Amino acid sequence: MFASRVSIPFVLLASLVACTSPPAPARLTLHKDACQEPGFTPLVPTDEFLPTPIPVLAGGTVVSGDFVISLWLYCDPSLSSDDPDLPGFSEVRYLGFRSEWQYLGRPIDHMSRTVITVNGEQVSSSGSGPGVASREINVHMGETRFPGLADALHASRPVEFLVTISAPDPLAAAALLATLETTPGGLMLATAKVEARTPYLW
C-alpha cells in the first residue's frame, strides 16, 4: 500500500510536466508572395544541377582574390516536404541555397577545399582536385538543411552564409547576410547583401 501511495503523485507530476511543456515552433515557410515570378527577377543559373530557371530571392556576386563568388537564396516550390527524411525537405519550406565560384588565377597545384558555414557553424566541406585549374567552377546547391537556421529565424536574428575557399591556405571568402521577417502568411525577405571577406583557415 505504501508503494502505491508514493507512485500516484509521481505519475500525476509526470503528466503535469508533459502537459505544460512548450509547444513545438510553427513550421517555417516562405510567404507565397516572397518570390517574384521568373520574368520579373534574376534567375539562378541553369546547369546540370538546375535544369529549369528558378527565381532568386536574394544574393549576388563579388570578387575575392582570384575568385568570383556568387551566393544565392532562391525559391523552389519542390522544397515543400514536411518529412526531414525526404530530399524535398528544407528548414524553411520553399527556400534553397546555392554557392558557386570560378577561379581566374594561375593554376594551383594543391587540392581546393570549400567550407560553408551558417551563423558560424560549419554545415558543409567539400574538396576538388588534384589542383585548381584556371576558370575552374565549383557549385554547391540544395535545400536549407542547416542546424540553427530555424532557431535564428524564429528569433528574428540575421543569418550569415559564409563561403571560404582554401588550396591549402585560405584564398577567398564571401558572405551573404539576410534578414527575414515573420508575417501572418510566412517569411518575407527584409534585408540582404553579399560582401567579400578576409578568408581564414577552418
Query: Tell me: the pLDDT tens digits for 137-173?
Result: 998 888 888 878 888 998 889 999 999 999 999 999 9
Query: Tell me: the pLDDT tens digits for 42-70?
Result: 566 666 666 666 778 889 999 999 999 99
Specify if 67 maps to a domain: yes
Query: C-alpha cell of 77?
Result: 516550390
Specify if 9 maps to a domain: no
Specify if 8 maps to a domain: no
Specify if 68 maps to a domain: yes
DSSP assignment of 45-101 equals PPBTTB-S-EEEEEEEEEEETTEEEEEEEEE-TT--BS-TTSTTB-SSBTEEEEEEE
CB-based contact 175:155 (threshold 8 Å): no
Q: Which pairs from 174-179 meet CB under 8 Å and 24+ separation?
A: 174/62, 174/64, 174/69, 174/71, 175/71, 176/58, 176/59, 176/60, 176/71, 176/72, 176/73, 178/58, 178/73
Query: Tell me: the pLDDT tens digits for 102-143?
Result: 999 999 999 999 999 999 999 999 988 789 999 999 988 888
Specify if 152 maps to a domain: yes
Number of domain units in the chain: 1
Q: How confident is the model at residue 178 (pLDDT cuts 50, 70, 90)?
A: very high
pTM equals 0.81
Query: Tell me: the pLDDT tens digits for 9-47?
Result: 434 434 444 455 555 567 899 998 887 665 555 566 666
